[in-house]
A and B are shown apart, each in its own frame.
Chain A
Amino acid sequence: MLKKEEPQDPSVAFRYPRVITYKHSLGYQSKFAHALKMGRIIATKCPVDGRCTIPPRIVCPMHHVKQTEWVDQGQRGKLLSAFKINFPMFDSRTGDLKSWETPIVSIELEGGARMDGWCSETDTEKLKPGMVLEAVWRPAEERQGRVDDILYWKPV
Chain B
Amino acid sequence: MNGERIAIVGVGQTVHKSKRTDINTAELCAEAVEAALADAQMTMKDIDCVILGSFEPADGYSGPDKWIVPEIGAVGKAGFEMQNVGTTGGVVAATGFNMAASGLFQNVLCVAWQKMDEAAGAFGRGGGGANEYWTGQFPMSPITNFARRTYDYMTRSGCTEEHLAMVRVKQDQCAQRNKNAQLKLGLTVEKVMNDFLLAWPIRRLHMCPTTAGSAAIVVCPEKRAKKVTKKPVWVEDWFTCHQGGALTMAEDPQASTLGYACRKIYKRCGITNPKKEINAWEVYEPASTAELRWMEEVGVAEDYKAWKLFEQGKVGIEKEIPFNPSGGVTATNPIGATPVVRVVEASLQIRGDAEEHQVPGTINRALATAYGGQGENVVFLLKKTL
Contacts and interface: CB of A to CB of B under 8 A. Distances in A.
B67 to A, nearest CB: 14
Contacts of A24: 131-133
Interface in A88-114: 88-93, 97, 100, 104, 106-108, 114
B341 to A, nearest CB: 25
Contacts of A29: 133
Contact of B250 (A83, A84, A107, A124): A107
A87 interface: yes
A100 B118 CA distance: 25
Given A89-B141, A91-B139, A100-B139, A116 B199 contact: no
B148 A93 contact: no
B23 A84 contact: no
Given A16-B60, A116-B250, A61 B245 contact: yes
19 contacts: A9-B22, A22-B132, A24-B132, A53-B251, A54-B248, A55-B247, A55-B248, A57-B244, A81-B148, A83-B148, A83-B200, A85-B143, A86-B197, A89-B139, A92-B126, A106-B249, A115-B248, A116-B250, A147-B133
Contacts of A90: 122, 125-127, 139
Interface of B: 21-23, 60, 118, 122, 125-127, 129, 131-141, 143-144, 147-148, 151-152, 155, 196-201, 243-245, 247-253
Contact of A147 (B134, B147, B152): B134
Contacts of A97: 125
A13 interface: yes
Interface in A19-56: 22, 24, 26, 29, 33, 53-55
Contacts of B131: 24
A92 B139 contact: yes
Contacts of B141: 89
Given A9-B21, A147-B134, A83 B147 contact: yes
Nearest to A29: B133
A107 B250 CA distance: 7
A114 B148 CA distance: 13
A148 B136 CA distance: 9
Contacts of A54: 248, 250-251
B302 to A, nearest CB: 22
B136 A93 contact: yes
Contact of A55 (B139, B198, B245): B245
Contacts of B122: 90
Contacts, number: 119
A5 B123 CA distance: 22
Given A83-B199, A87-B198, A89-B139, A55 B23 contact: no
A97 B125 CA distance: 8
B198 A86 contact: yes
Contact of B21 (A11, A87, A116, A129): A11
Contacts of A124: 200
A114 B245 contact: no
Nearest to B20: A11
Interface residues on A, range: 35 or more
Contact of A80 (B129, B199, B253): B253
A156 interface: no
Nearest to B247: A55
A146 B137 contact: yes
A59 to B, nearest CB: 9
Contacts of B140: 92
B80 to A, nearest CB: 25
A152 B133 CA distance: 17
Given A55-B245, A86-B199, A114-B252, 9 more contacts: A54-B248, A80-B152, A84-B200, A89-B139, A90-B127, A92-B129, A104-B138, A106-B249, A146-B133
A71 to B, nearest CB: 16
Contact of A89 (B22, B125, B243, B248): B125
A92 B129 CA distance: 8
B248 A85 contact: no
Residue with the greatest number of chain A CB neighbours at <10 A, chosen from B60, B126, B141, B197: B126
A62 interface: yes
Nearest to B136: A92
Nearest to A114: B250
A118 B125 CA distance: 18
B155 A81 contact: yes
A35 to B, nearest CB: 14
Residue with the greatest number of chain A CB neighbours at <10 A, chosen from B138, B247, B249: B138
